[in-house]
């Protein structure tokens, strides 16, 4: 029996799309990946539509503005924070129209707390990540704002049976390794210990309302699977091409524990798309090497592009989603078959 919100042989996208026409982007999403559509993000619209600004606009009672060095906390919201909220409101309006009559799971994305803390600066210029107390404040504020965002999406998509909430944490490996640069760029911030990373991420996930399925996306090498799992994420989204053989023990443990895997199998920028068998091969071969039953592959693995599609052309973005959807059907076949 499938224990995941989506049906077998499902594909979805990571989040970002090219261009500035959100109504068209959401139309493409519902048309090409109807089994698990999502709210697309269009960072090409500029400041406020970027991943950091979009997430910062969800913060409760922690106003932000844009400085020459990037997003920074301030005494009152700047015009760019208002622009970010306006973008999100328009996106939700377009979503509500496109989702009329839809029934099934639905996915949203937001920048995760550790990546956000490594990007947003404090009032005096240091990054939030440099101050443990500031990180706690950010986590509390973000958890509250993200929960409110989920509730708003539920109102806009009343037919959503479950909301898959994806936290984008491309910066998490660097946070754990101590490679995040200081605000000046001349130094590196102290590494965050794994138990602390787990606890803060867990606090955000624990703030989510019922009827949500939390996953963490990281398209950087060295995805910290144990940190993500211990924090309470029920799925991990990653670029399949970056998986190393030495990662497979951790992957196997996660699969055995019931963790879902969103495997990026199609490049996020324009290229010649391979046929469906080649696209599905990384998932099929991973399952075979790990020795898991073929019957679980199509339910526990969701195929996606390797990362966001913001750097692609609109035509390629549409074709990439379609190819992921077509390749997902291969996962229902016996991986032992040639």
Q: What angle do CA 228, 234, 238 make, to 5 degrees?
A: 60
CATH number reported for the structural domain that contains residue 65 in this entry: 3.20.20.210
Domain assignment present for residue 2? The answer is no
Range of the domain at 32: 22-332
Print pLDDT tens along the chain (338 aa). 568 999 999 999 999 999 999 999 999 999 999 999 999 999 999 999 999 999 999 999 999 999 988 999 999 888 999 999 999 999 999 999 999 999 999 999 999 999 999 999 999 889 999 999 999 999 999 999 999 999 999 999 999 999 999 999 999 999 999 999 998 888 999 999 999 999 999 999 999 999 999 999 999 999 999 999 999 999 999 999 999 888 899 999 999 999 999 999 999 999 999 999 999 999 999 999 999 999 899 999 999 999 999 999 999 999 999 999 999 999 987 544 44
Rg (CA), the chain: 19
223 vs 11: CA distance, rounded Å: 21
Strands (E), the chain: 64-67, 70-73, 104-111, 160-168, 212-218, 235-239, 260-266, 301-305
Q: What is the pLDDT of residues 79-117, one digit of tens each?
A: 999 999 999 999 999 999 999 999 999 999 999 999 999
Domain assignment present for residue 1? The answer is no
Domain assignment present for residue 16? The answer is no
The pLDDT value given to residue 185: 83
53 vs 114: CA distance, rounded Å: 14
Domain assignment present for residue 6? The answer is no
Q: Count the domains in the chain.
A: 1
How many C-alpha atoms does 238 have within 13 Å on its Cβ side? 23
Domain assignment present for residue 65? The answer is yes
Task: List, as one string, the DSSP characters of 90-146.
Answer: HHHHHHHHHTTT--EEEEEEEE-HHHHHTTSBPTTSSBGGG-HHHHHHHHHHHHHHH
Which residue has 């995040």 as its token pair? Answer: 180
The pLDDT value given to residue 335: 46
Please list the residues that pair with 301 across neighbouring strands.
261
Domain assignment present for residue 9? The answer is no
Q: Using CA atoms in the order 216, 220, 224, 229, what is the torsion angle rounded to 10 degrees?
A: 10
Domain assignment present for residue 10? The answer is no
Can you say whether the dihedral through the CA atoms of 311, 317, 321, 322 is positive or negative? negative
Domain assignment present for residue 254? The answer is yes
**φ/ψ bin of 232: left (φ > 0), alpha (ψ from -120 to 50), beta (otherwise):** left
Q: Which of 232, 257, 12 is nearest to 143 (CA)?
A: 232
Q: What is the pLDDT of residues 155-174, one digit of tens each?
A: 999 999 999 999 999 999 99
The pLDDT value given to residue 338: 41
The pLDDT value given to residue 334: 53
Strands (E), 240-314: 260-266, 301-305
Token pair listed for 186: 């001349």
Q: What's this model's pTM, rounded to 2 decimal places?
A: 0.96
DSSP percent split of the chain into helix, strand, coil, nearest 5: 45, 15, 40
């Amino acid at each position: 029996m499938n224990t995941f919100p989506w049906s077998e042989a499902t594909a979805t996208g990571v989040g970002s799309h090219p261009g500035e026409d959100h109504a068209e982007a959401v139309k493409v999403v519902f048309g090409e990946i109807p089994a698990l559509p999502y709210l697309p993000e269009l960072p090409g619209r500029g400041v406020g539509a970027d991943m950091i600004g979009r997430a910062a606009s969800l913060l409760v009672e922690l106003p932000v503005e844009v400085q020459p060095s990037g997003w920074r906390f301030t005494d009152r919201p700047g015009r760019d924070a208002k622009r970010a909220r306006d973008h999100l409101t328009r996106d939700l309006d377009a979503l509500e129209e496109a989702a009329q009559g839809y029934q099934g799971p639905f996915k949203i994305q937001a920048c995760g707390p550790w990546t956000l803390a490594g990007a947003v600066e404090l009032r005096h210029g240091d990054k939030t990540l440099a101050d443990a107390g500031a990180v706690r404040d950010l986590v509390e504020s973000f958890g509250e704002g993200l929960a409110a965002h989920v509730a708003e999406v539920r109102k806009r998509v009343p037919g959503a049976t479950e909301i898959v909430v994806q936290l984008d944490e491309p910066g998490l490996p660097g946070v754990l390794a101590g490679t995040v640069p200081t605000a000046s760029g001349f130094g590196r911030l102290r590494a965050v210990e794994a138990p602390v990373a787990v606890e803060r991420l867990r606090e955000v996930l624990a703030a989510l309302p019922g009827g949500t399925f939390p996953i963490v996306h990281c398209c950087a090498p060295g995805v910290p699977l144990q940190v993500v799992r211990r924090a309470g994420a029920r799925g991990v989204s990653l670029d399949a091409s970056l998986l190393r053989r030495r990662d497979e023990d951790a992957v196997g443990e996660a699969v055995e524990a019931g963790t879902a895997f969103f495997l990026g199998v199609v490049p996020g920028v324009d290229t010649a798309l391979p046929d469906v068998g080649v696209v599905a091969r990384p998932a099929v071969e991973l399952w075979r090497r790990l020795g898991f039953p073929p019957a679980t592959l199509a339910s526990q693995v969701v195929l996606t592009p390797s990362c966001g599609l913001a750097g692609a052309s609109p035509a390629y973005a549409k074709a990439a989603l379609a190819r992921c959807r077509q390749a997902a059907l291969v996962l229902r076949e016996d991986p032992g078959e040639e």
